[in-house]
């Protein structure tokens, strides 16, 4: 069993990449039959119906093959199994939403139940303490508070990722950055899974940048749930060579979550539902100011650069978080001003 597991660990990334490629090549007829197409209109600027493939790729190109890896693992895989099952359940929710447009309350309730189930199955995933300054600072959380905090963290990441998935390459690019940083903190034996997901994302990115497919809610929900749980694994079982405290993990996901909090706050201040759609997202302002892919490059730089700096100076992570928040609001203000100046010049 050990030799078979070792062989399969090597084969897992190319298997995931190959299955993803086959699914993406068949995206047109497959999503037409399943009625998983994003139809242009309203706030949607694409010109033709586009396959929503993210959920299908995860369900058939990633989760099953990771499941086999778990089954072959000679060591107990009690942590990863509930993670995969929860992510698969959330992915299915997203696929249903892609077809039927479920209410926000129903989606949040389902995510809450699925996440609670995974945490009850694997309680070691629950965040027991918030740490910072390379673990030199720490606040222990009471069990109930710890559970609530962990649930809200995953739900917030799912919602923020879904809101950020508005332009080609954006969410997939962020996911690649996230798993890169988390991969340095995850246990070494998780590397086949990290590489397998990387292969899936690279194939999806190529098709997504070409406008051949979108992730859809199935893809954004599933990726955010899986990567969010991987961050809990990294926090609970860090690599001793590159320990990641809570502030470093929080910094990785800061930008889309911060954008979500701002959007919901502004919407509620206007008397609107926090879940109503608009064009006030960070990527909308970057698109208007710098175009695309210029806006994509700017967004990903704002995600990646702070984490790179924090990796080299972990005891300054809180300062880097504060500076990132300042830069975020400064970039939005600058982008709005640039668009106003451009419009006034044109008139």
3-class DSSP assignment, residue 297: helix
Look at 269-273, 329-333, 343-347 and tell me which has the smallest mean pLDDT. 343-347
Residue 294 has pLDDT above 60, yes or no: yes
Q: Model-level pTM?
A: 0.92
Q: How many residues does the chain have?
A: 347
In the chain, pLDDT over 90 holds for what percent of residues?
67
User: DSSP letters of 251-290?
Assistant: HHTHHHHHHHHHHHHHHHHTT--TT---S-SHHHHHHHHH
Pick the more confident residue, 129 or 320. Answer: 320
**C-alpha dihedral over 98, 284, 57, 17, to 10 degrees?**
180
pLDDT band at residue 295 under the 50/70/90 scheme = very high
DSSP 75: S
For the chain, the first-to-last Cα distance in angstroms comes to: 72
Residue 239 has pLDDT above 60, yes or no: no
Pick the more confident residue, 9 or 39. Answer: 9
Residue 64 has pLDDT above 70, yes or no: yes
- How many Å apart are CA 92 and CA 221, to the nearest integer? 9
Report yes or no: 182 and 16 within 8 Å, Cβ to Cβ. Answer: no
The contacts of residue 14 (CB under 8 Å, 6+ apart) are: 199
DSSP 203: H
Q: In the predicted model, what is the mean pLDDT of residues 28-40?
A: 88
Two structure tokens written together for 273: 């539902």
3-class DSSP assignment, residue 48: coil
Two structure tokens written together for 167: 């332009």
- How many Å apart are CA 258 and CA 247, to the nearest integer? 14
Two structure tokens written together for 51: 């396959």
* H or E, element range at 50: strand 50-51
pLDDT value, residue 237: 53
Report yes or no: 58 and 79 within 8 Å, Cβ to Cβ. Answer: no
pLDDT value, residue 344: 80
Look at 32-36, 255-259, 300-304 and tell me which has the smallest mean pLDDT. 32-36
DSSP 214: B
pLDDT value, residue 79: 84
Q: In the predicted model, what is the mean pLDDT of residues 166-187?
A: 92
Residue 242 has pLDDT above 60, yes or no: no
pLDDT value, residue 223: 97
């Amino acid at each position: 069993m050990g030799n078979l597991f070792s062989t399969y660990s090597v084969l897992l990334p190319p298997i995931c990449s190959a299955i993803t490629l086959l699914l993406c090549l068949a995206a047109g007829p497959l999503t037409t039959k399943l009625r998983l197409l994003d139809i242009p209109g309203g706030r949607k600027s694409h010109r033709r119906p586009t396959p929503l493939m993210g959920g299908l790729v995860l369900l058939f190109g990633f989760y099953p093959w990771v499941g086999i890896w778990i089954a072959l693992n000679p060591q107990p895989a009690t942590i990863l199994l509930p993670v995969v099952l929860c992510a698969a359940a959330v992915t299915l929710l997203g696929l249903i939403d892609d077809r039927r447009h479920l209410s926000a309350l129903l989606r949040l309730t389902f995510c809450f139940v699925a996440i609670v189930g995974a945490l009850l199955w694997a309680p070691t995933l629950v965040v027991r303490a918030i740490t910072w300054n390379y673990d030199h600072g720490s606040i222990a959380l009471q069990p109930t508070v710890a559970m609530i905090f962990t649930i809200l963290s995953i739900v917030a990441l799912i919602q923020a990722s879904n809101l950020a998935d508005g332009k080609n390459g954006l969410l997939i690019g962020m996911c690649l950055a996230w798993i890169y940083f988390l991969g340095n903190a995850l246990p070494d034996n998780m590397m086949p899974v990290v590489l397998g997901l990387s292969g899936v994302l690279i194939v999806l990115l190529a098709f997504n940048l070409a406008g051949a497919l979108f992730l859809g809610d199935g893809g954004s929900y599933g990726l955010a749930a899986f990567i969010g749980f991987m961050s809990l694994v990294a926090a609970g079982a860090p690599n001793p060579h590159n320990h990641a405290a809570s502030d470093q993990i929080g910094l990785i996901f800061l930008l889309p979550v911060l954008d979500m909090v701002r959007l919901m706050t502004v919407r509620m201040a206007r008397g609107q539902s926090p879940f109503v759609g608009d064009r006030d997202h960070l990527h909308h302002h970057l698109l208007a100011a710098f175009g695309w892919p210029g806006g994509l490059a700017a967004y990903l730089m704002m995600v990646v650069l702070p984490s790179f700096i924090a990796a080299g100076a972990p005891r300054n992570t809180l300062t880097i978080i504060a500076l990132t928040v300042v830069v975020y609001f400064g970039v939005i203000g600058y982008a709005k001003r640039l668009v106003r100046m451009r419009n006034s010049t044109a008139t």
